[in-house]
Chain A
């Protein structure tokens, strides 16, 4: 059992959804990111999603775009992100999933990337602009050879056959995009989200994490009641934007507050 499966299994045994925390590696710089990962863990994150900054993040809203610009400006590139994971791995066993666009991975070479990522202690890779059609065979095989989990997105527009395909290919968990759109926090969840998540979860053989736009404890509670994992990104990235090198304290507090409903609402937890 790998670290991702273990984390979701542990949360399931506690009858709660996992809290997945996203931050961008290298914002404001890689040394600080290590401190911020510690803060996420202190706050109670179960899985860490680490963004690889890219110059042209077409699936991201303004908050993550600015974060990527700060990370790139501090000199962060894929190789540096993998070094950071290696340093984190020496200290913690939390599952780490890379959240990247394909071009930096292609530039390194897919096989080479997979080998280095595995050696660094990465557990899974989500490539935002690599749907199953393009991930098979090269990318999926390269990850498989290194026992890395390919994480795929599903969206409100995904058809039944696409859902089946992703469920066949995925390992670790499946990431459901809560609404059509880019990353970023929003005042309200999409009205159909809870119903859609329930329906989707019944179709999948993998844990289902839901993200994009979840930013308040209430939203976490609502989604956490019907999903196996809740992803919070932009709300945390925003804190890093505000506090920069001093973000660790606020970040730990925010993760604690955001993940609290998951620990409390055991009764409402939706059984498979």
Chain B
């Protein structure tokens, strides 16, 4: 992880990564790579970003000991890294601010983004408003329906939200459309990709902008517990940005078990989930070589998750390598388990988590009872659940109706 695990100079993490894009984007990617590598070493850039993260976005975010729930579960102590308290309500702003500064530095007057849950779209629209950049966000129609509040937020922030009606009308299709926009307007537009996906340099750049999550958490853990390292670190994995932001802090600490939670959806059949390590194979999607959910003939599969932010058929290349190395263990939480965890945290601690983050919580709640009370579980609470109130209500209503029908 971080600098040590790569990528190599061609953008590969082991056999994953690369730059699988049309020729038109190759020179712009080289320009972006140069700009990023220059900016990240420049003190002025880092200082401006730090200042914004602190004074504008609200970093550091708290580390919170969920005492009541930990006691109730009767096992390990659960600590929540509160990215839900970051301005705009999710970790996504760390990256959006970093890339928006970079875009301005490169002289690009316009930024575009894709969004699934709407959190990356809101973060990008926010950063664009802050820096005076024109902004268009691509979002699948299905996601616009289920994450409606975020659509309003983006528009209020001055962004154009472009509805995508192709394919499964979710995150994958939004990325397709954002790439088409970028290839067309590449001379004056920067594409703010929202996860550790896509062609080099995106996977490492997006990761780097999120390293602050794990760096803060280890410091805060030390202060709260006297220990710097948890026994377990758990994060949900869509593309993998919140997971790498947390996990990278433990790259030199093999004793910390790292657990990535994928969306188990409604079942194990292709199309029913978004668990790339349960049925995914080596493939190429959206510029990167990685594990991809696909059929036998290389057509990309549709996916399902109650959480729009995890509903995507590929995974970041670095996380694919960490899987093969056995460094990160992967598991899934189903729609039902995620919604249950949402309720548990709401009632048990007074926090409404994003449905994405609820997948990580579900795994923490599963494991905690089997561990001794002096064990520490660190969970990345990547976002807040305001956007999901409607999804949760719909889900609960549907299950209640199904249960009633069963009784009759």
Contacts and interface: CB of A to CB of B under 8 A. Distances in A.
Interface of A: 54-61, 65, 72, 77-79, 101-108, 128-131, 133-134, 152-159, 162, 166, 177, 180-182
A157 B282 contact: no
A134 B199 CA distance: 11
A129 B287 contact: yes
B239 interface: no
Contact of A103 (B10, B179, B300): B300
Contact of B284 (A55, A72, A103, A108): A103
Contacts of A102: 20, 284
A72 B294 CA distance: 14
Contacts of B22: 58-59, 128-129, 131, 153, 155, 177
A58 B300 contact: no
B299 A177 contact: no
B297 A77 contact: yes
Interface in B294-344: 294, 296-300
B296 to A, nearest CB: 7
Interface stretch (B123-131, B180-188, B230-238): B180-188
Interface of B: 10, 18-28, 30, 166-167, 172-173, 176, 179-180, 183-187, 281-287, 292, 294, 296-300
Contact of A65 (B24, B166, B287, B296): B166
Cβ-closest 4 pairs across A and B: A107-B298, A104-B298, A155-B24, A153-B23
Contact of A108 (B26, B172, B298): B298
B178 to A, nearest CB: 9
A182 B180 contact: yes
* Max count, chain A CB within 10 A of own CB: residue among B25, B27, B299: B299
A78 B298 CA distance: 9
Nearest to A105: B298
A58 B179 contact: yes
Contacts of A182: 180, 183-184
A43 to B, nearest CB: 28
Contacts of A131: 19-23, 26
B297 A78 contact: yes
A166 B23 CA distance: 10
Contacts of A56: 167, 172-173, 176, 285-286, 300
Contacts of A129: 20-22, 284, 287
A180 B10 contact: no
Contact of A133 (B10, B183, B187): B10
Contacts of B184: 180-182
Contacts of A77: 297, 299
Contact of A104 (B180, B185, B297): B297
A240 B88 CA distance: 47
Given A65-B166, A157-B23, A157-B27, 4 more contacts: A57-B176, A107-B294, A130-B20, A157-B186
Contacts of A78: 297-298
Contact of B297 (A79, A128, A133, A181): A79
Contact of B23 (A55, A65, A177): A177
B298 A103 contact: yes
Contact of B286 (A58, A60, A105, A181): A58
* Max count, chain A CB within 10 A of own CB: residue among B20, B23, B283: B23
A103 B206 CA distance: 24
Contacts of A177: 22-24
Nearest to B21: A129
Given A156-B24, A177-B23, A182-B180, A103 B172 contact: no
A156 B297 CA distance: 33
B114 to A, nearest CB: 12
Nearest to B292: A103
A152 B23 contact: yes
Nearest to B26: A131
Contact of A107 (B19, B28, B283): B283
Contacts of B292: 103
Contacts of A58: 22, 176, 179-180, 183, 286
Given A103-B285, A106-B284, A134-B18, A154 B23 contact: yes
B297 A55 contact: no
* Max count, chain B CB within 10 A of own CB: residue among A105, A177, A181: A181
Contacts of A59: 22, 180, 183
17 contacts: A56-B300, A58-B183, A77-B299, A79-B297, A105-B298, A106-B282, A106-B284, A108-B297, A131-B19, A131-B20, A133-B10, A154-B23, A155-B22, A155-B24, A158-B27, A180-B184, A182-B183
Nearest to B200: A133
B186 A180 contact: yes
* Max count, chain A CB within 10 A of own CB: residue among B18, B186, B282, B297: B297
A157 B28 contact: yes
A270 to B, nearest CB: 23
Contact of A180 (B24, B173, B179, B286): B24
* Max count, chain A CB within 10 A of own CB: residue among B18, B183, B187, B282: B183
A107 B285 CA distance: 12
A6 to B, nearest CB: 26
A106 B20 CA distance: 12
A266 to B, nearest CB: 31
A70 B345 CA distance: 46
Contact of B183 (A134, A158, A181): A181
Contacts of B185: 180
Given A130-B20, A157-B27, A180-B24, A104 B183 contact: no
A155 B23 contact: yes
B366 to A, nearest CB: 34
A48 to B, nearest CB: 21
B292 to A, nearest CB: 7
A60 B166 CA distance: 12
A96 B236 CA distance: 46
A129 B21 CA distance: 4
B283 A106 contact: yes
Contacts of A55: 167, 299-300
